[in-house]
Structure 1
């Protein structure tokens, strides 16, 4: 993708196949890209509405000045007041309408920016490889996706209107006062540039403190998210006090950083407040002196007093909003940094997509000398080579940490290999488009992840357009019909986050039914029956045998009895394939696989 503006304008979501999002090199330019197009029209309308508000603010004191002039001259009549009063009524109606419009329009833009930043940031996060995500804390990413975006929305909703009023109104009022008495005007505004210089010098320090706040918030959210995810373990190991202490520690850091940031952020407002007071005093002194000397009328003096308050007030509000501006600036920087992270795994422009040309491929899986490491100093896989032919089942076994699951994750290209090749249907996975590659691979994992929603929603993830007949057939083959029918609302039963309202075996059967429904030509079973009882396992194994017919199947298993009928068994240790053959051949060799079989046989006889 080319630029943030193009990214924001695009209708399609950012996918892992994108080349990364390029954004301007400054937060200010980044903000400009967010308010282009129709939003810029809204901003201009917002400025116009602010102008309506400002006009009423300017005209009101001028009309009061006119009344005072009537009084001073002694020639005015009550009848002459009526038009002035009617205009004042109109001005204050205009003022109320202007306030409503610029507040409403600025929030329209703000929520559009909020929506875009939230969705685009999340979509960009989806492009990150597992290798990158494994190094990040989920809570920190959540903070960046939501909290930082909200800070930007707050500035767009409130900062832009105040900025408009701080520029338009004071300039117009200053021009009027200069026309009446330049000397008094210059004296009255003399404190303003001095205060502005102090505020400018403080802005960098304020941004530094708010960076500490955003960082502290990310740590706090990450800790709370970790604790909620591991709440069962916390209770089982009596860690409530320890984990609460960690939350308290991070919350204290966040609190202290926030207090420090707010303390520094309040300085500009106080400085401008003092400057405004000095300006008022200078008007009272110089304007009062001129009025006493007869060179400035009482009406003009009153106008000066009114306008000086109005001139300084927007600057006071802007200064008080220094924390809002600084939070938005820091948050934009953090979002910009996130958007600049390039996706490690991308679809090639002309990558293979069998569905585009109705190509019927031989669904083979082949590893050629594959090497892979999660960290540079530790190899997870070394020189792994094997192949699986269509209709063939290959079992991958070995001790924990041997690299079995890592092998399975390389097939849909969740990671890129560091050496060698992974080929699907005779084509390197790097030459496949990602969507069709992953569409042709089904997984049944040991740790089943179910989304918060209904059973139906989770079953249809892999094939949203499946018919009712196909859905119920998959449920039947996974032996899930009975427990689903016993649910309060059947397929429409909400199962909770991660499927917490289901048992482990029920979640596993939902996962198996989901794979059956997807009906992909390549199947990966990673301990697919680990969470079911023996009787259910036997029934599911029968269904899985039907599912595996004609499919390229990789089975990862610790229960060796489940792989006896595999066409080939690969035994792994320390990221290497040490033995290859049929079940009986490896048992006869008397190597590591045979020792595993013997150990499990002993356990079953105890």
Structure 2
């Protein structure tokens, strides 16, 4: 399912989903329900004490009874405070545990998705779903929200009780409920739609901010600060308007519900006064009755106060559910096998692949590509930009599934190999170096957390980075900054080579690893690359053809097809496509 398409969901679906997480902590839930039950009983007792004081204590002028009743009233208030504290505290514990599980599940589910998922998703939108949308769902697991559930039980019990005391006044109050339900039905849809638009615009704001902060150098160099600010103002203003629209509907809705509740109270006062005048009701009973009417109206009042919260949560639930309902297209076989101990090499057998050009309009396709990558040797891929070189490396790492043909590791099909096992045996060094915001050690051991400092220093030496690191005051603990801003291009590239060396994978893919470096930096890094390729099966995409003279085999691609294969000398002698590419670089 496309993560951008939100599934239709009811309020019941949302509560069932969220409280499914809560049920993992059953004892906490039982403890909270017990506390809320006691709170409800205490709230029921207080009007009885008030009625007793007015109808019995005051007429009899009995100070002992008065002291006992006041003591009982104060004791009830203290007990209410204690149980309210317990309910609020343990509700927070339960809420945080449930939201931790939900956010963790969502994050892991996002990480489990394949490449196509991330091609159709925006980073800012995913961040909003992981943070703000999860936060909105957290509001469902709160003392106020669970209190509504408790109030519903109170509602039924107290409604029966007030009918037993005086059915005429109870019926008058009950007649106001359909009006409130009708108002709720009308405004629920309006507020939901407004929040749905607001969440979408908030996701666009997050995406705009993420894009701006990661491309700040481009913005500065083209002095496009005003353009970016104007674009952000546009999406921010759109979000403001949607939030105001939701607030306007809530501002109309809440006073109307309060007005209907006041109408119910007014009817009770009118009828109650009539019954008191005719000696059919006592004043204390009237006071208690008004308290019980308030308890009957409480769930509806709570629901109206929380309508905004509920609608925001329902919109967020739809956005979270859309992610959780998405399934990766790329999956393991029914009975996957471990990656084989490579002895012969990799065979591309009539490989055909097409991107979804609506999402990847610039990515090349490959058609009926066949060649060998011999074990322990270096094979170079060359060709014009867009000829399919990088596409083939992604297929070998199984970031996409083939449309036709097969890739064999010795005699084992890529389709049968466990995906994790496959990728553990392939190391990729590309021109786009990925550096995490952490220390040099963090970056080198990424993917192999059990490595010792000796292991790290050894691969740094092989990557010609040991002298640089040893010269730093913090050594391996030196922070590299976000995206490695404290390192030069060559240092970042050598860091990625050290990471690949530590992984010690039998298959190495170099995807134009030196394309972004100048000639001097490229020469400095070549020794590190030679160490990396030593005794490994390697596939190298080279921008500068002068760097692949010594490749055991060169495969020339053009428009997604193999047009020539051989070593440098034989291909130059053919004076074909490779020779044309090579000579063009030196004209």
Tell me the TM-score range normalised by the shorter chain: over 0.9
Matching residue of 2:120 = 135
Question: Is it true that 1:404 corresponds to 2:389 in the alignment?
Answer: yes
2:549 to 550, 564, 570: 564
Question: Is it true that 1:56 corresponds to 2:42 in the alignment?
Answer: yes
Instruction: Report the alpha carbon displacement of residue 387 of structure 1 after superposing the two structures with TM.
Output: 1.2
Q: Is the 1:27–1:336 Cα contact (8 Å) retained in structure 2?
A: no
Instruction: Report the alpha carbon displacement of residue 482 of structure 1 after superposing the two structures with TM.
Output: 1.9
Matching residue of 2:19 = 35
Instruction: Report the alpha carbon displacement of residue 30 of structure 1 after superposing the two structures with TM.
Output: 5.2
| Cα distance in 2 between the residues matched to 1:230 and 1:544 | 29
1:339 to 324, 331, 353: 324
Matching residue of 1:370 = 351
1:197 to 182, 198, 209: 182
**CA distance 1:553–1:231, shift in 2 (3 Å):** same
| Cα distance in 1 between the residues matched to 2:465 and 2:258 | 70
1:106 to 77, 91, 95: 91
Matching residue of 2:477 = 492
SS of equivalent residue, structure 1 residue 35: helix
| Cα distance in 2 between the residues matched to 1:135 and 1:363 | 38
- Per-residue Cα deviation, 1:304-350 (whole angstroms, up to 9, x for no partner): 22332333234222211111111111221222222111111112232
Q: Is the 1:391–1:552 Cα contact (8 Å) retained in structure 2?
A: yes
Matching residue of 2:81 = 96
Q: Which runs of 5+ in 1 are unaligned?
A: 1-22
- Per-residue Cα deviation, 1:422-452 (whole angstroms, up to 9, x for no partner): 2223322111101110000011111100111
| Cα distance in 2 between the residues matched to 1:158 and 1:500 | 46
- Summarize the alignment of residues 515-526 of structure 1 with structure 2, pairs less than 5 Å apart: 515-526=500-511
Matching residue of 2:3 = none
- Per-residue Cα deviation, 1:94-118 (whole angstroms, up to 9, x for no partner): 1112222222232222222221221
Matching residue of 1:348 = 333
Question: Is it true that 1:361 corresponds to 2:347 in the alignment?
Answer: no
| Cα distance in 1 between the residues matched to 2:517 and 2:533 | 19
Instruction: Report the alpha carbon displacement of residue 260 of structure 1 after superposing the two structures with TM.
Output: 1.1
| Cα distance in 2 between the residues matched to 1:24 and 1:432 | 37
Instruction: Report the alpha carbon displacement of residue 376 of structure 1 after superposing the two structures with TM.
Output: 5.0
- Summarize the alignment of residues 515-594 of structure 1 with structure 2, pairs less than 5 Å apart: 515-532=500-517, 534-594=519-579
1:69 to 55, 71, 74: 55
Q: Is the 2:57–2:65 Cα contact (8 Å) retained in structure 1?
A: no
Instruction: Report the alpha carbon displacement of residue 541 of structure 1 after superposing the two structures with TM.
Output: 2.3
| Cα distance in 2 between the residues matched to 1:423 and 1:191 | 74
Matching residue of 2:32 = 46
| Cα distance in 2 between the residues matched to 1:35 and 1:277 | 34
Question: Is it true that 1:283 corresponds to 2:268 in the alignment?
Answer: yes
Q: Which stretch of the first structure deviates more once superposed, 38-47 or 290-299?
A: 38-47
Q: Is the 1:462–1:515 Cα contact (8 Å) retained in structure 2?
A: no
Q: Is the 1:50–1:164 Cα contact (8 Å) retained in structure 2?
A: no
Matching residue of 2:371 = 386
2:406 to 398, 421, 443: 421
Q: Which stretch of the first structure deviates more once superposed, 32-41 or 227-236?
A: 32-41
For normalisation by structure 2, the TM-score amounts to 0.93
Q: Which runs of 5+ in 2 are unaligned?
A: 1-6
1:448 to 425, 430, 433: 433
Matching residue of 1:14 = none
Q: Is the 1:475–1:481 Cα contact (8 Å) retained in structure 2?
A: yes
Instruction: Report the alpha carbon displacement of residue 215 of structure 1 after superposing the two structures with TM.
Output: 1.2
Q: Is the 1:363–1:521 Cα contact (8 Å) retained in structure 2?
A: no
RMSD: 2.2
Instruction: Report the alpha carbon displacement of residue 288 of structure 1 after superposing the two structures with TM.
Output: 0.8
| Cα distance in 1 between the residues matched to 2:460 and 2:432 | 19
Q: Which stretch of the first structure deviates more once superposed, 416-425 or 554-563?
A: 416-425
SS of equivalent residue, structure 1 residue 262: helix
Matching residue of 1:223 = 208
Q: Is the 1:394–1:569 Cα contact (8 Å) retained in structure 2?
A: yes
Q: Which stretch of the first structure deviates more once superposed, 241-250 or 374-383?
A: 374-383
Instruction: Report the alpha carbon displacement of residue 26 of structure 1 after superposing the two structures with TM.
Output: 5.4
Question: Is it true that 1:174 corresponds to 2:155 in the alignment?
Answer: no
- Summarize the alignment of residues 238-317 of structure 1 with structure 2, pairs less than 5 Å apart: 238-317=223-302
Matching residue of 2:149 = 164
| Cα distance in 2 between the residues matched to 1:158 and 1:241 | 45
| Cα distance in 1 between the residues matched to 2:306 and 2:203 | 23
For normalisation by structure 1, the TM-score amounts to 0.90
Instruction: Report the alpha carbon displacement of residue 534 of structure 1 after superposing the two structures with TM.
Output: 4.1
| Cα distance in 1 between the residues matched to 2:385 and 2:173 | 78
- Per-residue Cα deviation, 1:66-124 (whole angstroms, up to 9, x for no partner): 0111255x323111112212211221111112222222232222222221221111211
Q: Is the 1:166–1:318 Cα contact (8 Å) retained in structure 2?
A: no
SS of equivalent residue, structure 1 residue 269: helix
SS of equivalent residue, structure 2 residue 586: helix
Instruction: Report the alpha carbon displacement of residue 267 of structure 1 after superposing the two structures with TM.
Output: 4.1
| Cα distance in 2 between the residues matched to 1:425 and 1:461 | 28
| Cα distance in 2 between the residues matched to 1:393 and 1:99 | 71
Q: Which stretch of the first structure deviates more once superposed, 263-272 or 564-573?
A: 263-272
**CA distance 1:38–1:76, shift in 2 (3 Å):** farther
Aligned residues: 575
Structure 1 residue runs of 4 or more that deviate by more than 6 Å after TM superposition? none
Instruction: Report the alpha carbon displacement of residue 592 of structure 1 after superposing the two structures with TM.
Output: 3.0
